[in-house]
Amino acid sequence: MGRPLRLFNSLGRRTEDFAPAGDTVGIYTCGPTVYAYPHLGNMRAYVFADTLRRALRWKGLPTRQIINITDVGHAVAELELGDDKLEVAAARERKSVEEVAEHYTQAFFADLAALNILPADEYPRATACVDQMIDFAAELERRGFAYTIESGLYFDTSKSVDYGRLALINTEGQREGARVEQVEGRRNKTDFALWRTETPGQMRAMRWKSPWGWGAPGWHLECSVMSIALLGSHFDIHTGGIDHRQLHHVNEIAQSEAYLGDARPWVRYWLHNEFLQFGAQKMAKSAGGTIRVADLSSAGIHPLAYRLFLSGGHYRAQLDYTHEAIESAQSSLRRLMARAEPLRPLPPIQTYAQAVDSAHGDQATIDALNQFDAAISNDLGTPQLLAHLHESLRSDGLSADGRRAVLSSAESLLGIGLDRIASDGLAGTQALLADDLTARVTDLVAEREAARAARDWPRADQLRAQLERLGVQVTDTPQGPTWRAN
Ligand code: AMP
Ligand code: ZN
């Protein structure tokens, strides 16, 4: 099956050979909070988890993947340490919290599809599992791992064996800071809420009855409960963005190991993707200045150009999102499609074994496939894999069938559409702006069009000048106006 797959395990911070515990590799991927559209940074986490699944499939290992949907407003508030974001969004959009959550959940599914991400086996919603969360928390309380204070039921981290080993936390110092709130009566500053009890007079839009009063489950609880329910007590891999390594996953481990109480590590491999940066910061829902998959499309950038852009970096390295980088990924995608087109249809290849079979003993093809295998086996080395792909497409040494095998193998690992996207379907040169600016520019361009149609030239010129002040250049073509940001 080629060489062993080596993965960087955040637990212990080393690259290790991956060996699944059973026949099917269980993967739990922390899902999105659904009070706003997912942005390209969020989607990096799911493209990464998908690449991992594709690598496991390449090695002939079946997977079962769960991605949860965080649709409990309190949980979102806890994550961001602010207001109940779901309630805020509901008020803003004049919808119920359920409608808001459903709308953004569907948007997430649409983005997964646009990025050619293999569907997970299940997408459990946190709101559907609250009873199980209450049972889980009650069991922890019964066994002495939790205590009640006015604001709810808290997990006592001093009872946890080796608390914080994932984050390499020294429990004594640290952890007062980002995402950690001040709580009256808490015994240790690392203790976290299993249940958040409503304050008297408060009535949340989403609330459940529990032994600790009306309220809502703590954010960390949902992932422990849903992963154990759907993957079994112990499973192979847990993934998420790098921010989860410091707190969310630390707390998931503490409560799950306390609950299971079998002195075994709950999950053996913890994998984290680095951030997509925008400007000098991580792209973030709360920070504004986000870009969505839909923004790419409306600017004429194919969503898979974004996936190609991601593959050009290693998942554990920060990546800077810039107009230039995405434009260049789009050109690169177009060139790859132009090379692939004449060779289609590609043979169906998903695994290394199938790839080698399809080479029919041709050594040059097998060598190229082994290079792919070496790249992906080395902690999902997609940049090296891409470099080998370009190399083998340029080389004279490969037959047409060899190229087909190589292209199909690269597609099975990268999911960038080599088997089906038309190179001329990748038109469009408009550069990208942040969300709100894009909408503004689109409005101004439309208004200028209307002025031109009404032959109101002074108004049209005025609008062009206004656009130029925003750094946007408008060009009129027979097909209508196009614009690009400088
Ligand atoms: P959230 O909806 O905020 O819980 O985020 C969903 C997933 O996206 C989590 O795994 C986060 O760690 C991840 N994430 C959030 N922002 C970024 C970013 N800028 N780059 C990469 N991953 C991110
Ligand atoms: Zn989680």
- Rounded to 5 degrees, φ, ψ at 12 are 105, -15
Contact at 8 Å (CB) between 204 and 198? yes
Nearest CA, atom 1, ligand 1: 32
Judged against a pLDDT cut of 90, whether residue 89 lies above it is answered with: no
pLDDT tens across 224-249, in order? 999 999 999 999 999 999 999 999 99
- Condensed to tens digits (0 to 9), the pLDDT of residues 111-140 reads 999 999 999 999 999 999 999 999 999 999
In this prediction, residues 38-46 reach a mean pLDDT of 97
pLDDT confidence tier of residue 428, bands split at 50, 70 and 90? very low
Confidence grade of residue 432 (pLDDT, cut at 50, 70, 90): very low
| 396 or 24, which is more confident | 24
Unique residue bearing structure tokens 């996936």: 307
Average per-residue pLDDT for the chain: 90
Q: For residue 423, which of 348, 336, 347 has the smallest C-alpha distance?
A: 336
pLDDT at residue 385 in the model:
98
| Lowest-pLDDT choice from 241-250, 314-323, 369-378, 439-448 | 439-448
pLDDT tens for each residue of 169-201: 765 544 444 445 677 889 999 999 999 999 888
Cα angle value 303/307/312 (rounded, 5°): 140
Contact yes or no for 69/123 (Cβ under 8 A): yes
Mean pLDDT of 143-165: 94
pLDDT of residue 458: 85
* pLDDT for the residue 204: 81
Please tell me if the CB atom of residue 9 comes closer than 6 angstroms to any atom of ligand 1.
Answer: no
Q: Is the pLDDT of residue 307 over 80?
A: yes
- In this structure, of 136-145, 269-278, 288-297, the range with the lowest mean pLDDT score is 288-297
Report the helix count and the strand count for the chain, using DSSP H and E: 16, 15
**What phi and psi, each to the nearest 5 degrees, are found at residue 396?**
-85, -10
Mutate to test the pocket of ligand 1, among 10, 42, 67 (most ligand atoms within 8 A of CB): 42
Higher-confidence residue: 458 or 274?
274
40 in contact with ligand 1, CB cutoff 6 A: no
Give residue 176's pLDDT.
45
Nearest-CA residue for atom 21 of ligand 1: 275
| pLDDT tens column, 205-214 | 889 999 999 9
Measured in Å, residue 241 CA sits from the centre of ligand 1 at 5
Q: Percent of the chain at pLDDT above 70?
A: 90
Q: Annotate 363-403 with DSSP letters as a single string.
A: HHHHHHHHHHHHHHHBTS-HHHHHHHHHHHHH-TT--HHHH
Give the pLDDT score at 200.
83
Is the confidence at residue 93, as pLDDT, over 90? no
Measured from the CB, is residue 283 less than 6 Å from ligand 1? yes
**What per-residue confidence (pLDDT) applies to 140?**
98
Asked if the model's pLDDT at residue 66 lies above 60, the reply is yes
DSSP code per residue over 74-97: HHHHHHHTSS-HHHHHHHHHTS-H
pLDDT band at residue 462 using 50, 70 and 90 as cut-offs: confident
Does the pLDDT at position 275 exceed 90? yes
Phi/psi at 233 (nearest 5 deg)? -55, -45
- The residue whose C-alpha atom lies closest to atom 8 belonging to ligand 1 is 42
- Which residues keep their CB under 5 angstroms from ion ligand 2? 30, 223
High-pLDDT (> 90) share of the chain, %:
70
